[in-house]
Amino acid sequence: MKWTQSYIPTLRETPADAEAISHILMLRSGMIKKVISGAYSYLPLGFKVLNKVIDIVRSEMNAAGAQELLMPAIQPAEIWKESGRYDVIKDIMISYKDRHGSEMIMGPTHEEIIVDIVRKDISSYKQLPFILYQIQTKFRDEPRPRFGIIRSKEFLMKDAYSFDKDTDGLNRNYEKMYNAYISIFKKCGLNAIPVEAESGIMGGDTSHEFMVLSESGEDEITHKGKKEKAIEIGHVFKLGTKYSKALGANFSDENGKENPIIMGCYGIGINRILAAAIEENHDKEGIIWPKAIAPYQVIVIPTNTADEKINKAANDIYDKLIKEGVEVIIDDRDERAGVKFKDADLIGVPTHVIIGKGLTDGKIEIKDRKTKETQQVLVKDVIKAI
C-alpha cells in the first residue's frame, strides 16, 4: 500500500477529551474516529488491526472445536423476561418499539438467544456436547463511556457457549476454552493474567477473568502481592443450568430422564485487545504493535522522493517485499523526512526501512521500532535482512 493512496489522518496534538494512552494514540494515529460518546468508527488502519485480532481469535476457537454461527443483534424483550434478566439488566439496555408495538432490544449479550436456538433442536444426550461461538456487535447504554474503546456503548465481542450433559463435560470444555484464551492472548502479544472472579449478572458458580495491567484499567487485582489496575479482556463462566432451567432447554439422558442442559459461556472483548496491546506496548513516540497484529509489518521510507535514485530504490524494495508476501506500506508522500519518521513511529509498524544518504554507498537503514536498534544493510541484502 502507498501512503498517498491511504486514509491515515494522523494528528500532532493530543485530543482534548482523551485520557487513556490507548485512546490518545488510536486517535492520533488515525485508527479510530469518535462519532458520539461511546461509539467509534474504525478507519482503515485500525480496521486492519481489528481484523488481525479477529483472525487469531477465530483460528484458536476453531482449533478448540468450537463452531461459528451468527446471531442477530435485535432481540425480542419477551425472551429476556422469560429468562428473568430483563429487570436485572434493563438500565443498560438499548431498546425500541417496532412498528407493531413490540419491544426490541439491541443485544447486550446473547445467552437468551443461543439457548432459544438450542432448546428447539436438542432433545437427547446423544446430541451433546458441542460449543458454538460468534463474533458480533454488542450494545450497552453505559452510563459513563470512557477511555475510548475500553468502555463503549457499541463493541465487538467473541462470545462462545458450551452445552453438556454433565458437570464433567462442562469442566472439560471450560478447560478447553481457558487454554484457548491463554493461546489467543499470547499470540496477540499480551501478558494476560487469569484471576478468579465473581460471576455477576451472568450467573453460575465459577468464573475467571483475563486481565492486562494498565493505568487505564477499571478493575483492581492483586498481582505478585500488589494491588494493580487492569483491563479485563476476557471472561469465562461455568453457568451450570441457570439459563437452561429458566428457558426450558432440556435433554433426555441414557435412562430417559429429562434434565436441563449444563452450560458454560466464554467472552472476549475484541476491541479491548487493541487497547490493551497499546497500553502494554508504546513509548513517547507512539504505538509499538506486537508483530502478529500490526497493520503492516514493514514501512519503507524514502527520505527524499524528489531524488530519483532514492525514489527508485525505495520502490524496488517495496515491490520485492510485496512479491515476498510481506505486508508493507511505502511512505511516498512529498514530506520532510522528519514528518515521515514521526508518523512511522506513531502508527507502530514493527520494521522501518529507510532509504536516504547511505544509498550513495549502496546501503540502506533498517530500524526495529521496538528496540530502536538500527543496522546498515547493502541494498541487495535488504529482503533477506527483513
Note down the domain range covering 369. Answer: 296-385
Evaluate whether 210 touches 272 at the Cβ level (below 8 Å). Answer: no
Query: 3-class SS at 306?
Result: coil
Query: 3-class SS at 102?
Result: coil
Q: Report the pLDDT value the prediction gives residue 170, as an integer from 0 to 100.
A: 97
Select from 287, 304, 339 the last residue of a domain: 287
Residue 353 C-alpha cell reads as: 526501512
Which amino acid type is present at position 188? Answer: C
Mark whether 72 and 37 lie in a shared domain.
yes
Q: What percent of the chain has pLDDT over 90?
A: 93
Mark whether 223 and 328 lie in a shared domain.
no
What is the overall mean pLDDT for the chain? Answer: 95
Evaluate whether 295 touches 349 at the Cβ level (below 8 Å). Answer: yes
| Cα(113)–Cα(128) distance, integer angstroms | 18
Mark whether 150 and 278 lie in a shared domain.
yes
Residue 17: pLDDT band (50, 70, 90) is: confident
Residue 88: pLDDT band (50, 70, 90) is: very high
Select from 259, 287, 315 the last residue of a domain: 287
Mark whether 276 and 301 lie in a shared domain.
no
We report the CATH number of the domain holding residue 352 as 3.40.50.800
Mark whether 283 and 313 lie in a shared domain.
no
Mark whether 101 and 48 lie in a shared domain.
yes
Mark whether 243 and 125 lie in a shared domain.
yes
- Is the pLDDT assigned to residue 204 strictly greater than 90? no
Q: Among candidates 338, 376, 368, 336, which has minimal Cα distance to 352?
A: 368
Q: Report the pLDDT value the prediction gives residue 15, as an integer from 0 to 100.
A: 87
Select from 244, 264, 287 the last residue of a domain: 287
The 10s digit of each residue's pLDDT in 131-176 is 999 999 999 999 999 999 999 999 999 999 999 999 999 999 999 9
The 10s digit of each residue's pLDDT in 53-87 is 999 999 999 999 999 999 999 999 999 999 999 99
pTM above 0.85, yes or no: yes
| Cα(185)–Cα(207) distance, integer angstroms | 18
Mark whether 156 and 187 lie in a shared domain.
yes
Mark whether 115 and 181 lie in a shared domain.
yes
Mark whether 173 and 309 lie in a shared domain.
no
Q: Report the pLDDT value the prediction gives residue 29, as an integer from 0 to 100.
A: 98
Mark whether 321 and 231 lie in a shared domain.
no
Map 154-198 to HEC letters: EEEEEEEEEEECCHHHHHHHHHHHHHHHHHHHHHCCCCCEEEECC
Q: Among candidates 161, 98, 88, which has minimal Cα distance to 128?
A: 161
Question: Residue 255: left if φ>0, alpha if ψ -120 to 50, beta else—which one?
Answer: alpha
> What's the number of domains the chain is made of?
2
Mark whether 250 and 348 lie in a shared domain.
no
We report the CATH number of the domain holding residue 130 as 3.30.930.10
Q: Report the pLDDT value the prediction gives residue 197, as an integer from 0 to 100.
A: 78
- Is the pLDDT assigned to residue 234 strictly greater than 80? yes
Mean local confidence (pLDDT), 6-27: 94
- Is the pLDDT assigned to residue 119 strictly greater than 90? yes
